[in-house]
Amino acid sequence: MTVFTQQNGQLFCEQVALADVQQQYGSPTYVYSRKAITEAFEAYKAGLGNHPGLICYAVKANSNIAVLQVLAELGAGFDIVSQGELERVLAAGGDASKVVFSGVAKRPQEMRRALEVGIHCFNVESRAELEVLAAVAAEEGKVAPVSLRVNPDVDAKTHPYISTGLKENKFGVDIDEAIEHYKWAAAQASLKVVGVDCHIGSQLTEAQPFFDAQARVLNLVDTLAENGIELEHVDMGGGIGVRYENDDTPPNITESVQQMIANLGERKLGLLLEPGRSIVANAGALLTEVIYLKSTEAHNFAIVDAAMNDMIRPALYQAWMEILPVQAAKVAAKEYDVVGPVCETGDFLGKKRTLAIEQGSVLAMLSAGAYGFVMASNYNTRGRAAEVMVDGAQVHLIRERETVESLFAGEHRLG
């Protein structure tokens, strides 16, 4: 059930009118619901039940410290892809022993920091990385827990930019070559082989690709066991989709996790998952004000104060996200292209949207909690948006809007 609801002609998040949020904090502003984040995470926990494992939130989806704090307090683990994300998790109160370190380009200094704080596991993506990690751990006098990310060559049937499980993708090692790498790792005193990792892509709207990939991974687990390498866990990554449009029907989270556990059979393996989008996407909205309405022979344009630098998904992925007025306007509805002020034709939030709006109307772009602010930039020297979190009837400012002065504070004129 969505936490964004219409009440007497106004759009609310939990118990807070979004018009009031925009009035107090301005726009563009990201609004997140604590209740929605909690409910989505709890759906994963319910699926895991008493089975050993971790639900490791993918920090890259939304890395605001308050968001991470909410999840840490719920007992979440965290999936990171940089030292910066690791430091965010720690600053938010996350448990380092519940952190898995993914990513294709970990640097030695990042490995050292992760070893220092005692993370749960490194998800290693290449033989070259495996060799560097072994050397770094040996230098530090530590043993690095490792899981090899394998590429099962399973088509996730999603956008090509967010598909990660095919042989043509840069991620992981070929599943048919993994045994050689596992044998090498198992022979290193500075490495401890603990698992296998797999992530086939994002915004999956059916569960079968997960199960197909898991079947291939479990065949590898059995072959490794025959070679004397016993694993402790299987990490199936993230990728469960969310509803952006009315006809989107993502898999049931709890049931999907339960099926993954059932697929393990008699194997004594823990289950790790790395959800991101499915926890935060529908917990967020982006508020933006209509600055001008402009009509041409071909289009009606609603020119708003949010732009592709604030929300790049429509321009980058051709993503469709619902756009609604936060307050009903007493005007006739028209079809609009909702566009921003950035000097690019690709600067749009939505096209062909039927809206009853006027100059000064405030719009809410829904399902904006994932890959919104985290992918924002300062293109056109635009400050990034404010972020707030709604908790029942309370609103908390969790990131201040950037000022123009802050944008060039680290720059220097020639002497």
**Dist. CA 293–CA 261, nearest whole Å:** 53
Average of pLDDT values for 59-79? Answer: 98
Q: Are residues 264 and 121 in the same domain?
A: yes
Supply the CATH number for residue 304's domain.
2.40.37.10
| pLDDT value for 171 | 67
pLDDT value of residue 36: 98
Catalytic residues: 343
**Structure confidence at residue 165 as a pLDDT band (50, 70, 90):** very low
- Given phi > 0 = left and psi -120 to 50 = alpha, else beta, which region is 178? alpha
Nearest to 129 by CA among 100, 112, 101, 106: 106
| CA 139 to centroid of chain Cα atoms | 33
pLDDT confidence band for 242 (50 / 70 / 90): confident
User: What is the per-residue pLDDT for 170?
Assistant: 52
Q: DSSP characters for 213-271? A: HHHHHHHHHHHHHHTT---SEEE----B---SSTT--PPPHHHHHHHHHHHTTT---EE
pLDDT at 278: 94
Q: Is residue 123 part of a domain?
A: yes
What is residue 155's predicted lDDT score, i.e. its pLDDT?
60
Assign 169 a pLDDT band (cuts: 50, 70, 90).
low
Confidence (pLDDT) at 157: 53
Does the pLDDT at position 164 exceed 50? Answer: no
Q: Do residues 256 and 384 share a domain?
A: no
**Residue 161 has what pLDDT?**
39
Question: Same domain, yes or no, for 225 and 346?
Answer: no
Tell whether 351 and 211 lie within a shared domain.
no
For residue 391, what pLDDT is reported? 98
Please check whether residues 22 and 46 belong to one and the same domain: no
Q: 415 in a domain, yes or no?
A: no
CA–CA separation, 66 and 30 (whole Å): 13
Same domain for 135 and 85: yes
In a domain, 152, yes or no: yes
Higher-confidence residue: 161 or 189?
A: 189
Cα distance between residue 256 and residue 74, in whole Å = 21
Share of the chain above pLDDT 70, in %: 96
pLDDT digits (tens, 9 = 90+) for 3-27: 999 999 999 999 999 999 999 999 9
Domain count, the chain: 2
Does residue 413 lie within any of the structural domains?
no
Residues 19 and 64 grouped into a single domain: no
- 175 lies in the same domain as 241: yes
Q: Which of 262, 278, 294 is the last residue of a domain?
A: 278
User: Residue 158: pLDDT above 60?
Assistant: no
Examine the domain organization and report whether 345 and 260 are in the same domain: no
At 247, is the pLDDT very low, low, confident or very high (cuts 50, 70, 90)? confident
End-to-end Cα spacing for the chain: 58
Q: Which of 278, 299, 315 is the last residue of a domain?
A: 278
Read off the pLDDT of each residue in 295-322 and give the average, rounded to a whole number.
Answer: 95
Q: Which domain holds residue 13?
A: 4-32+281-407
Same domain, 308 and 269: no
Residue-wise pLDDT for 279-306, tens only, equals 999 999 999 999 999 999 988 999 999 9
What integer is the mean pLDDT of 40-53? 97
% residues pLDDT > 90 (the chain):
84
How far is it, in rounded angstroms, from Cα 172 to Cα 197?
Answer: 9
Asked if residue 272 lies in contact with residue 195, where contact means CB atoms within 8 angstroms, the answer is yes
pLDDT band, residue 335 (cuts 50/70/90): very high
Q: How far apart are CA 374 and CA 388, in angstroms?
A: 14
Q: What is the mean pLDDT of the chain?
A: 93
Number of Cβ within 10 Å of residue 226's Cβ equals 9
With respect to residue 412, please indicate whether it lies within any of the assigned structural domains: no
pLDDT of residue 205: 83
Residue 414 lies in a domain: no
**pLDDT value at residue 209:** 84
Same-domain check for residues 108 and 53: yes
Mean pLDDT of 326-332: 92
Query: Given pLDDT bands bounded at 50, 70 and 90, which one contains residue 270?
Result: very high
| CA distance readout (Å), 155 to 24, 38, 192, 248, 320 | 46, 30, 31, 19, 22
CATH of the domain at 65: 3.20.20.10
Task: Take residue 185 and report the two structure tokens written for it.
Answer: 């790792």
Which range, of 144-148, 236-240, 369-373, averages the lowest pLDDT? 236-240
Supply the pLDDT for residue 159. 39
pLDDT in tens, 349-384: 999 999 999 999 999 999 999 999 999 999 999 999
Residues 92 and 56 in one domain: yes
Q: Domain for residue 267, yes or no?
A: yes
